[in-house]
Amino acid sequence: MTDYTELSLADLRDGLKKKDFTSAEVTDAYIARIEGAAALNAFITPTPDIARDKATESDARLAKGEGGALEGVPLGIKDLFCTRDTLTTAASHILDGFHPKYESTVTTNLFADGAVMLGKLNLDEFAMGSSNETSYYGDVVNPWRRTGDNATRIEAGKVVGGLTPGGSSGGSSSAVAARLCAGATATDTGGSIRQPAAFTGTVGLKPTYGRVSRWGVVAFASSLDQAGPITRTVRDSAIMLKSMAGHDPKDSTCIDRPVPDYEAVLGQGVKGLKIGVPKEYRIDGMPEEIEKLWQQGIDWMRDAGAEIVDISLPMTKYALPVYYIVAPAEASSNLARYDGVKYGLRVADDKDNITALYEKTRAAGFGDEVKRRILIGTYVLSAGYYDAYYIRAQKVRKKIFDEFQEAYKQVDLILTPSTPSAAFGLGEKKNADPVEMYLNDIFTVTANLAGLPGISVPAGLDGQGLPLGLQLIGRPFDEETLLKGADALEQSAGFTAKPDEWWV
């Protein structure tokens, strides 16, 4: 009997269309697998009843030869996307019991194409984090584990020695890597799609800012946030992006331009493409394995017929400090809405005035990392500091943007490592300086600041058997060339490794 959960999203889609199997069968297989993987804590809210109902509806359409591009395909939804009447938490205590009365544009688009929702996936609280350790609903565990003595295992019903699946989209990356869904939605503000994808041997695509609607996605930093897919293959990402993308009058930054058939470019190869290699991404203290993998990627691209061009992006080292002004500033403004009045948690006693209600609710409802960022954001926007921090950061951001514009006069794509290391242990960096955790996003954050599309593709394993990713960054709204390059990387890497199922 076929194990449906082993099929790629593309193969599932095709098999469903050909009626080789039904969405009900596939959906049941995934529900059983999710039930067996509770130890990974990838889901905050599994929705098996909704999934079964939707699968039955899909099967009825498929039986008549009808149905959309994702008809009957079971997906996981990051719990940052509002889903009508289904608990939406952003992994924060402050959104306790929040059942939106509307549906995000991304999930509306996916469901209109026939996708089946298996549940809401765990994440860092308000997507603020790089290890999925800031979630109110607990850490997510990476299905991958190191080889040898320090391997992850279950002792007395608890996971010991677990690794981070990355963050903030750690539930998405863990679920896709553990085959708990055919693909997942995710969001990326500084690397939150690409870093978790790199840590879990999956493909993560952050589209151009403005390609996908942000409407109904719980806002973190509005000028940087962008939704995209995490999937098992480049083709699967192309398929999901096509459904997720498109103009939306409800998001004024969502651009009105046609959505190409991204799948059509796959297999076209990179012959004749110019691929930039920025010397500033060769940072101090980078493990040799990352360096080697990057060189391997350069060689693969050259062998596939691309021309390698050395480029310089000297503003790179300023990207993270810019990010840690701009993102908290926007977050402090966006998160002002959580006040204990309109939705979610309220903490107050009868004698409290409205200010005490706000202050107590927010103190109880937000976790430490979220509070830290709100305070930083409030500080850099406060009178006397606004010009010195916020305006200066926006000016440096412009210089980073201009530098990429210049680079893209010479090259079509830029190739870098996705992360400065493989997945690290949960708890390993918990007491570290916050800045050390922030450095995880050093290679990914530039694409957010410049609004560019980026993709992480699994490219190999490190000495401990953990996946590593390579990143491609493309021109704005040129996801087609980005996917062409990613497809070539995927072909060359031939990454077929899978985590062994220690959690079952």
Subset of 184-223 contacting other proteins (CB under 8 A)? 209-210, 223
3-class SS letters over 360-420: HHHHHHCCHHHHHHHHHHHHHHCCCCHHHHHHHHHHHHHHHHHHHHHHHHHCCEEEEECCC
Q: 418 with 458: CB under 8 angstroms?
A: no
| Catalytic site includes residue 131 | no
Which residues lie across from 454 on neighbouring strands? 206, 473
| Catalytic site includes residue 78 | yes
Active-site option among 23, 58, 168, 492: 168
Site for other proteins in 325-354 (CB under 8 A): 325, 332, 336, 339-346, 348, 352-354
Site for other proteins in 219-248 (CB under 8 A): 223
Q: What is the CA radius of gyration of the chain?
A: 22
Q: Is 128 in the site for other proteins (CB under 8 A)?
A: no
Q: Is 103 in the site for other proteins (CB under 8 A)?
A: yes
State the nearest-atom distance from the C-beta of 366 to other proteins, in Å.
Answer: 7
Site for other proteins in 249-308 (CB under 8 A): 249-250, 252-253, 255-256
The only residue of 52, 93, 360, 498 in contact with other proteins, by rule CB under 8 A: 360
State the nearest-atom distance from the C-beta of 356 to other proteins, in Å.
Answer: 8
Site for other proteins in 420-439 (CB under 8 A): 433-435
Give 93 or 372: the residue with its C-beta nearer to other proteins.
Answer: 372
Which residue shows structure tokens 């297999």?
267
The only residue of 279, 382, 410, 430 in contact with other proteins, by rule CB under 8 A: 382
CA dihedral 126, 78, 229, 250 (to 10 degrees): -70
Active-site option among 78, 120, 206, 242: 78
Please enumerate in sequence order all residues whose Cβ is within 8 A of that of 157, keeping only pairs 6 or more positions apart, or say none. none
- For 330, the token pair is 């926007």
CA–CA separation, 199 vs 167, rounded Å?
Answer: 9
Among the listed residues 487, 9, 5, the one whose alpha carbon sits nearest the alpha carbon of residue 244? 9
Query: Near other proteins by CB under 8 A, which window of 95-103, 168-176, 278-286, 486-494?
Result: 95-103
Q: Is 126 in the site for other proteins (CB under 8 A)?
A: no
- For 397, the token pair is 């951001």
Among the listed residues 229, 247, 109, the one whose alpha carbon sits nearest the alpha carbon of residue 181? 229
| Catalytic site includes residue 168 | yes
Q: Is 359 in the site for other proteins (CB under 8 A)?
A: yes
Among the listed residues 297, 183, 287, 289, the one whose alpha carbon sits nearest the alpha carbon of residue 244? 183
Give 114 or 344: the residue with its C-beta nearer to other proteins.
Answer: 344
State the nearest-atom distance from the C-beta of 264 to other proteins, in Å.
Answer: 26
Site for other proteins in 393-412 (CB under 8 A): 393-399, 401
Active-site option among 192, 213, 418, 492: 192
What residues act catalytically? 78, 168, 192
